[in-house]
Structure 1
Amino acid sequence: MAATTKDSTFWRLLSEQVGHELAAHQQYMAIAVWFDGHDLPRMAAHFYRQALEERNHAMMIVQYHLDRSLPVAIPGTPEVRNDFADVVEPLQLALDQEQQVTDQIQAIFRAARDEGDVLGEQFLLWFLEEQVEEVAAANTLLTVARRAGDNLFDLENYVAREAIGDGGESADAPKAAGGAL
């Protein structure tokens, strides 16, 4: 039997995830600006897209709340990191962030399952698949950056040449409140 929203771990964690996604949005914007400021336009463009993707994820969760006629609050976000010693640091931060989000989504999914919320489970399946792609893409970028060493043209060329992730395009993605950007 599904728990009521008042005592539901699933709904509490899902509501908190809005903030986590918006925090990721902010952090990716900061990373994009850092790459832009270091004349790495392809890396900057990638992270500007990633920032929008994270914003859209938050708004998908908001729309799900609205569709289920449940209140949702938009939280503030924590401070972001803006300074990095080299290109590896922001990429490591991005990978760590994606691994953390994966853990969060898995915990929300488990809570939905434990509470018998099959609609919640179904909603989260897309996010679980998305996180596999996000972690793989972040890991690949970090690997390429480490291999490139000081030759940042190799990293820029890789990003220009290869499709990294799904670019935020997914026909089966949940709808975002206000529309996806």
Structure 2
Amino acid sequence: MTSNKTGDSSHSKFHRLLIDQVRHEFTASHQYVAIAAWFDDQDLPQLARVFYEQSLEERDHAMMIVRYLLDSDVTFALPGVDDIETDFAVARDLVALALRQEREVTDNFQRLARVARDEDDYTGEQFLQWFIQEQVEEVAKMSTLLNVVDRANGNLFDVETFVARDMPSEDNGSQGAPGTAGPSVS
């Protein structure tokens, strides 16, 4: 293994961005816990469940990247997380935040794939394909949820019914997903 650390110029641009993506994934996980806790506090258990599950998914994504970096002999310092939003007023704001976050993550993975391709890192580019497909599903899921919240006109019990019926708990052991560093929480 190399003795490179996160800021070393000897890391490829792709590896530096991938290490930064670990930070983004852990930050997203924390953000989803904050969203879930708000829904939990509002006695909306179905919405809370969706976002607690999203938090676990983001954590697993970070651990998949950690596993890839370790398997690629990239030594790095685990980055911390960014500040998250915790001052929420209405449910729509939380779901809109989740959708924005998923779109940002999609942009990050697409950028990572471009950089991997530009650097002729075909293994890295291939590693990202699962994440890119996963993001299509995540953006669609949050877009649908935001549309349902908007159509409910403030009746969150209708949203709860929709979530219970149409957004069942996910089997996070997705086919073809990269392995995680350590055990998966899924």
TM bracket, shorter-chain basis: over 0.9
Q: Deviations over 1:81-137 (max 9, x none)?
A: 112111000000000000000000000000000000000011000000000001000
Secondary structure at the counterpart of residue 164 of structure 2: helix
- Residue matched to 1:117: 121
1:75-86 paired onto structure 2 within 5 Å: 75-86=79-90
Which deviates more, 170-179 or 67-76? 67-76
1:36-47 paired onto structure 2 within 5 Å: 36-47=40-51
Shift of the alpha carbon at 1:138? Answer: 0.6
**In 2: Cα distance, 1:7 partner to 1:69 partner:** 11
Superposed CA RMSD in Å reads 1.4
Stretches (4+) displaced over 4 A: 164-167
Secondary structure at the counterpart of residue 142 of structure 1: helix
How many residue pairs are counted as aligned between the two chains?
A: 177
Indicate how the Cα distance of structure 1 residues 83 and 164 shifts in structure 2: closer, same or farther if over 3 A, else same: farther
Which deviates more, 105-114 or 164-173? 164-173
Where structure 1 has 5 or more consecutive residues not aligned to the other structure, the ranges are none
Amino acid at match of 2:51: F
**Aligned pair partner of 1:96 in 94, 97, 100:** 100
- Residue matched to 1:52: 56
Q: Are residue 151 (structure 1) and residue 155 (structure 2) matched?
A: yes
* TM-score of the two chains, using structure 1 as the length reference: 0.94
**In 2: Cα distance, 1:131 partner to 1:152 partner:** 26
8 A Cα contact 1:19 1:76, kept in partner: yes
Indicate how the Cα distance of structure 1 residues 167 and 133 shifts in structure 2: closer, same or farther if over 3 A, else same: farther
- Residue matched to 2:111: 107
Amino acid at match of 1:116: D
Amino acid at match of 2:102: E
Indicate how the Cα distance of structure 1 residues 34 and 123 shifts in structure 2: closer, same or farther if over 3 A, else same: same
8 A Cα contact 1:105 1:128, kept in partner: yes
Secondary structure at the counterpart of residue 176 of structure 1: coil
* TM-score of the two chains, using structure 2 as the length reference: 0.91
Amino acid at match of 1:171: Q
Shift of the alpha carbon at 1:163? Answer: 2.9
Indicate how the Cα distance of structure 1 residues 80 and 161 shifts in structure 2: closer, same or farther if over 3 A, else same: same
Q: Are residue 10 (structure 1) and residue 17 (structure 2) matched?
A: no
Shift of the alpha carbon at 1:73? Answer: 2.2
